[in-house]
């Protein structure tokens, strides 16, 4: 069935729907912002979003796909299945410095506005609550349980310091490293000690040297999580967490090997043992779907927000489990301005903007633009086919598994 959509009319109906719900959407955004929760602990956000969906008359599956803080709401009985994703986890100490409260409220608004049109336009909608983006890989765990089976396209927006078509996403894998040495009195018998902190520090300095000789779009960064107990005890234990990032999962593998060589050399030099654990799962790079982005950008512009291609001066480099989703189904992850240029995500200053007027504007614009994109995907089988063909071409070949 091909429905000829009067774009201007549909946009004005979406605009009116989002305006009518604006107070609810912003209440949800502010509520999540005021209750920052870490990976897999987002019970307050889960409950607030599920309640808002249920209040609007949608059937909500709480604790979906085996995760306590995931949810799913489904609308419609026929037509393309378009998923809109809500993230809502926060960061330690600095709260919603990645602005996931804005992602959640915009996804909620887009879902509710599109849901109101689903039967009329013959489309199906999947509103997904996806926990633990900041390192837990919630979307990957949900995908393993079938969250994206039968989905034709998936979308979300992400806050930034500008309106951009995409994030410069690179693949990432996290490794936890622990060192074991031998405690001794640091003054009385240092010769009996084997210093696990030395092992960790030497590993760190080896990686600092390595960083001069990697690709410009690769990143390696770590912190110490255990550096001993007291200066007069030679540390018998030390630990660190490292993030290793490279353009895609294939190029990540040789970089991971070089990182491990640096770390284990530190342990060897300090005569200590070392154990490591690569946290499951790695995040893939993001394949941005041009057919979907074209639709999103046109609608966003009609609502007064111009998204541009990232440049080396405006881009946001990072990693997301939406990358893994993008290998499964056609996907977009456009960035929406929530803070002035130069205010980086993952800073306390960004946290303030995410809960302020600019965050609120992004909720409304993100909701309207995504709702219009969902509706256009429902109404335009040619665009859905184009998104699928493009996705097939981008993912065929020897890509490593992302799940
Ligand atoms: Zn983040
Ligand atoms: Zn984020």
**Each residue of 130-143: pLDDT tens digit?**
999 999 999 999 99
Give CA–CA dist 283/281, Å, rounded.
Answer: 6
CA of 167 to the centre of ligand 1 (A): 12
Query: Which phi and psi (to 5°) does residue 318 adopt?
Result: -175, -170
Neighbours of 351 (CB within 10 A): 25
Q: Which ligand is nearest to the CA of 104?
A: 2
Q: Which ligand is nearest to the CA of 172?
A: 1
Residue ranges near ligand 2 (ion) with Cβ within 5 Å? 98
How much is the pLDDT for 130?
98
How much is the pLDDT for 1?
47
* Helical spans, DSSP H, in 167-248: 196-210
What pLDDT, in 10s, does the model give residues 36-47?
999 999 999 999
CA of 271 to the centre of ligand 1 (A): 37
pTM for the full model? Answer: 0.93
How far is CA 177 from its chain centroid? 24
State the average pLDDT for the chain: 96
What pLDDT, in 10s, does the model give residues 226-259?
999 999 999 999 999 999 999 999 999 999 999 9
What pLDDT, in 10s, does the model give residues 285-311?
999 999 999 999 999 999 999 999 999
CA of 282 to the centre of ligand 2 (A): 16
How much is the pLDDT for 398?
61
Spell out the residues 6+ positions from residue 80 whose beta carbon is closer than 8 angstroms to its own: 123, 124, 152, 153, 377, 378, 381, 384
Nearest alpha carbon to residue 242 among 218, 272, 213, 217:
218
Give CA–CA dist 314/310, Å, rounded.
Answer: 6
What pLDDT, in 10s, does the model give residues 169-201?
999 999 999 999 999 999 999 999 999 999 999
Residues 355-378 have a mean pLDDT of 98
């Amino acid at each position: 069935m091909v429905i000829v959509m009067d774009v201007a009319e549909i946009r004005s109906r979406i605009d009116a729907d989002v305006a009518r719900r604006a107070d609810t959407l912003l209440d949800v955004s502010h509520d999540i912002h005021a209750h920052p929760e870490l990976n897999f602990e987002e019970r307050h956000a889960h409950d607030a979003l599920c309640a808002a969906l249920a209040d609007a008359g949608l059937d909500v599956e709480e604790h979906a796909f085996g995760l306590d803080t995931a949810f799913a709401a489904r609308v419609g009985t026929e037509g393309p299945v378009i998923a809109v994703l809500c993230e809502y986890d926060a960061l330690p100490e600095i709260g919603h410095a990645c602005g996931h409260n804005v992602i959640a409220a915009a996804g909620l608004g887009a879902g509710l506005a599109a849901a109101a049109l689903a039967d009329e336009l013959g489309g199906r909608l999947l509103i997904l609550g996806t926990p633990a983006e900041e390192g837990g890989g919630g979307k990957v765990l949900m995908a393993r349980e079938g969250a994206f089976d039968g989905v034709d396209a998936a979308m979300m927006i992400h806050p930034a310091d500008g309106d951009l078509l995409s994030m410069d996403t690179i693949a990432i894998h996290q490794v936890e490293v622990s060192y074991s040495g031998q405690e001794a009195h640091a003054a009385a018998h240092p010769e009996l000690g084997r210093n696990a902190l030395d092992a960790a520090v030497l590993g760190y300095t080896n990686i600092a040297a390595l960083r001069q000789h990697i690709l410009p779009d690769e990143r390696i960064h770590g912190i110490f999580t255990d550096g001993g107990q007291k200066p007069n005890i030679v540390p018998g234990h030390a630990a660190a967490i490292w993030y290793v990032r490279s353009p895609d999962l294939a190029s990540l593998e040789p970089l991971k090997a070089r990182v491990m060589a640096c770390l284990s050399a530190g342990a060897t030099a300090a005569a200590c043992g070392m154990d490591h654990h690569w946290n499951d799962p790695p995040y893939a790079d993001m394949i941005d779907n041009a057919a979907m982005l074209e639709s999103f950008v046109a609608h966003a512009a009609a609502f007064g927000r111009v998204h541009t291609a990232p440049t080396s001066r405006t881009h946001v480099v990072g990693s997301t489990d939406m990358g893994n989703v993008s290998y499964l189904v056609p996907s977009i992850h456009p960035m929406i301005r929530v803070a002035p240029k130069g205010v980086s995500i993952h800073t306390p200053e960004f946290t303030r903007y995410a809960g302020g007027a600019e965050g609120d504007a992004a909720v409304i614009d993100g909701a309207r633009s995504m709702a219009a994109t969902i509706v256009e995907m429902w109404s335009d089988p040619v665009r859905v086919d184009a998104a699928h063909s493009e996705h097939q071409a981008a993912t065929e070949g020897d890509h490593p598994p992302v799940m």
